[in-house]
Homo-oligomer: A and B are copies of this chain.
Amino acid sequence: MSDNLNQLKARFNQTIRLSEAARLLSWDQQTYMPSAAAAGRAEQAATISQIAHELSVSDEMCRLLERCEADLRGQPDDSDDVRMLQVIRRQYDLNTKLPATLMAEVARHQAIAHACWQRARAANDFSALAPALEKMFDLARQGAEYLGYSDHIYDALIDIYEPGMKYADVAAMFSEIKPRLTRLVYAIAASKVSVDDSLLRGSFPVDQQKSLTQTLVGALGYDLARGRIDEAAHPFCSSSGREDVRITTRYNPELLPQGLYASIHEAGHAMYEQGSPAKFEGTALAGAASTGFHESQSRLWENLVGRSRAFCQFIYPFLVERFPGSFASGGEELLYRAVNRVTPTMIRVEADEVTYNLHVLIRFELESEMLAGTLNVSDLPDAWNSRMESYLGITPSNDAEGVLQDVHWSGGLIGYFPTYTIGNLLSGQLWHAIGNALPNLPEQISRGEFAPLLEWLRVNVHQYGQKYRTAELIEMTTGEPLSAHYFVDYLTAKYSEIYRL
């Protein structure tokens, strides 16, 4: 290995270790930090972030990067070193293309816009957010111009979260799933079958839920010697390296699925991070292929595993044991139906598998139109409501349960929403391949044997860390490019049976 490459790796490693420390600080802020400590924590985080940024855009980093690119010219494109260099180059470009003044303005405006969003949502008053949102989209447009794109301004932004993905890819994907999903939603609404989920409501003592979660995510394969579970207002997974991958969850003592599925979801993220190979630790290749691929893992465990009939058979005895007031033996099938009830609702984060991606579609359409200048911020609430009506058959009664529900746009996350749906589509395509590779998977799941599934994910996805991008990795893993139909096929088959369509 060239001396330049060793030096580059050592320098990049510093930025990684700083990021790991920053994530621990953030985890602490959301779990155990004293309430008065927020201002000091912001200073600590800002200092670490600024130093990491300075290191990552330093002349030395640039010089080493160029030398390594020269050194590695002619090496196989698939070698770890070449791929590592590509990841470092990509991050260097992302960090250097945006002027510091713009980044500072975005950071300042994020704080302002977030406060406006909180006020607007509390007062159910979109006009309190509109000017800040206008400016945020304006800043996003400026950023996109600096980052550059060839076809659509949206390309520059989605590329941040999904390297290589373009507006046209996302639009094509949604145009494939939109009619089929809408049709499915309407068919379910028209079905005479009604699904009763009342057994999921009742009294579920938090201590019992905690011990269930611990047992359950451990059984799935989340290694608690390299992780831990805490409570937080918003469930999340935080990795400070493959040996320290923590999740948080939130328990509702009257509604079982909330903590249960949040825990499985976050454990799915965590198992991906824990599966990042030891040989990549501390390098640019550690971690996950993309935001969407991360979501594919969480959603696969949460939905394709966690809402399967086999999983309900596995988990049912635990529920009977812990919540005898709610569950009596023999109710596996009732549970399966209850956790798969489909009802169009106003709120994305509470949506079922079928309607979820229509929520995402609406956001994608609106944010891309606003970026392109074909939709004005002032027209956003109406546009939101009319699409809710059109795709889901329901209309928000106010903006708080409509356009004001998500934190993303006011936080500057523009071009991010599609990663949720990319994650779902990937999970469907992976699930299809897994079904072929592991024909006995349902039986295994019903017996609580998750090791074969996790091993498949380790070998086919996790072991590659960040080495491959989404498009390349899904093709390597499943033998074909990302395709939306597997996921929609899965939904159609599953819900046609449940709702006798």
- A residues adjacent to B (C-beta < 8 A): 13-14, 17-18, 20-21, 24-25, 28, 32-37, 39-41, 43-44, 46-48, 50-51, 223-228, 230, 240-244, 246, 281-282
Contacts and interface: CB of A to CB of B under 8 A. Distances in A.
A28 B13 CA distance: 22
B18 A47 contact: yes
Nearest to A223: B36
Contacts of A241: 37, 40, 43-44
Contacts of A240: 37, 40-41, 44
A243 B40 contact: yes
A40 B244 contact: yes
B20 A44 contact: yes
Instruction: Kindly report how many copies of this chain are found in the complex they form together.
Output: 2
Contacts of A14: 47, 50-51
Given A17-B43, A32-B32, A32-B230, 8 more contacts: A13-B43, A14-B50, A14-B51, A17-B48, A34-B226, A34-B243, A37-B244, A51-B51
Given A20-B40, A40-B240, A34 B281 contact: no
Nearest to A245: B34
Given A18-B47, A41-B244, A48-B21, A34 B227 contact: yes
A81 B241 CA distance: 41
Given A18-B47, A18-B48, A25-B21, A32 B243 contact: no
Nearest to A227: B34
B36 A17 contact: no
Contacts of A28: 24, 28
Nearest to A274: B36
A223 B50 CA distance: 31
A28 B23 CA distance: 12
Nearest to A50: B14
30 contacts: A13-B43, A13-B47, A17-B43, A17-B46, A17-B47, A17-B48, A18-B48, A20-B40, A20-B44, A21-B44, A21-B47, A21-B48, A24-B24, A24-B44, A32-B228, A32-B230, A34-B225, A34-B226, A34-B228, A34-B243, A34-B246, A35-B225, A36-B223, A36-B243, A37-B226, A37-B244, A39-B243, A40-B240, A40-B281, A43-B241
Contacts of A224: 34
A34 B281 CA distance: 17
A224 to B, nearest CB: 7
A403 to B, nearest CB: 36
Nearest to A22: B21
A37 B243 contact: yes
Top 8 closest pairs, chain A to chain B, by CB? A37-B244, A17-B47, A40-B241, A36-B243, A36-B226, A37-B243, A21-B44, A17-B44
A394 to B, nearest CB: 43
Contacts of A243: 34, 36-37, 39-40
B43 A225 contact: no
A244 B48 contact: no
Given A21-B25, A21-B44, A28-B24, A244 B51 contact: no
Listed residue (A20, A36, A37, A40) with the most chain B CB atoms within 10 angstroms of its CB: A37
A25 to B, nearest CB: 6
Contacts of A25: 21, 24
Listed residue (A20, A224, A230) with the most chain B CB atoms within 10 angstroms of its CB: A20
A35 B47 CA distance: 28
Contacts of A39: 243
Contacts of A32: 32, 228, 230
A14 to B, nearest CB: 5
A459 to B, nearest CB: 22
Contacts of A35: 225
A20 B29 CA distance: 14
Given A28-B24, A44-B240, A240-B44, A225 B17 contact: no
A237 to B, nearest CB: 13
A241 B33 CA distance: 12
A245 B230 CA distance: 21
Contacts of A43: 13, 17, 241, 282
A232 to B, nearest CB: 13
